[in-house]
Amino acid sequence: MSRTRNIADEIARDLRQQIINGQYEAGDRLPAERELAQTLGVHRSSVREALKKLEQLGLVSTRRGGGTTVQSFDKASLEIVGYMLWKNGRVNRAVLEQILDVEEMLFAGVCYLAVERASEEMADEAQVLMARMSRATSVNDFIRDAALIGEVLTRASGNLVLAIFGNAMLPSLMRGLKNFGPYILANAETLQTTLSKSASSNLYKDPRAASEFARLVIRDLRRLIFAAIDAWEADLDAQERSKQREPTDPEACASVS
């Protein structure tokens, strides 16, 4: 990868995050290429490539002689969803709610089709994974099995378009789960109890029952994720308060020591 492309990626990443954080709003014009290049100390070709990347994401529109204008998020591509999950260093809860709404619809649909179309071997594989996830004692095992269940059920559904939508949505959710590592299992009891019921149910023969069960799982997951975020943010706030109380004056530091 060329140095120019690396620089362009960095510029695009920074501008993308500034747009997501609200520093540039829909309808705002970004600084001209020349101005951005001078401010950042880079070549105009790097800025031009970065702006093209933002345009491909649907975040901006560029007109010859008219500059680059920020677009509303409803014109953005699906790829932007994962980036929108974070705003000013915190979880964007409104976006997360919407991601989980879509995940619930997708997962319910996947489970319905999977039960309707899956072979016995695939059904057995999904059942084993759910049972294993219900007993997971480490965060890595919990997240790994969650991803594997999604893969098996999507494959069993035989629906390529559903798989593509899942590929766009699931990674951002999985990354979110990993970010809250130690907070996940501390709140996972309800979800694991729900998953354990799958072993003794008729889910693998009744598409409607499987679809409803999927909705219950995602709703338990929703509660789990938000409880983990609450705990994570509480710790983050405590750390920030602690830093604010630390003496910054050299003489104060000397007196403390």
Task: Let me know whether 72 and 85 are in one domain.
Answer: no
- The CATH number given to whatever domain includes residue 85 is 1.20.120.530
The whole-number pLDDT of residue 198 equals 77
Task: Let me know whether 26 and 103 are in one domain.
Answer: no
Task: Let me know whether 71 and 99 are in one domain.
Answer: no
- Asked whether residue 251 is assigned to any structural domain, the reply reads no
Domain that holds residue 19: 3-76
Residue at which a domain ends, from 56, 76, 96: 76
Task: Let me know whether 88 and 149 are in one domain.
Answer: yes
- The CATH number given to whatever domain includes residue 38 is 1.10.10.10
The whole-number pLDDT of residue 64 equals 82
- How far is Cα 50 from Cα 73, in angstroms, rounded to an integer? 18
188 three-state secondary structure: coil
Q: What is the mean pLDDT of each successive set of 10 residues along the chain, which is 257 residues long?
A: 76 95 95 94 94 96 89 92 85 91 90 90 87 87 87 90 79 71 80 80 83 92 90 88 70 47
Decide if 35 contacts 67 (C-beta within 8 A): no
- Asked whether residue 227 is assigned to any structural domain, the reply reads yes
Tell me the whole-structure pTM to 2 decimals.
Answer: 0.80
203 residue type, one letter: L
Decide if 55 contacts 66 (C-beta within 8 A): no
Contacts with 5 (C-beta within 8 Å, 6 or more apart), sequence order: 49
Task: Let me know whether 31 and 133 are in one domain.
Answer: no
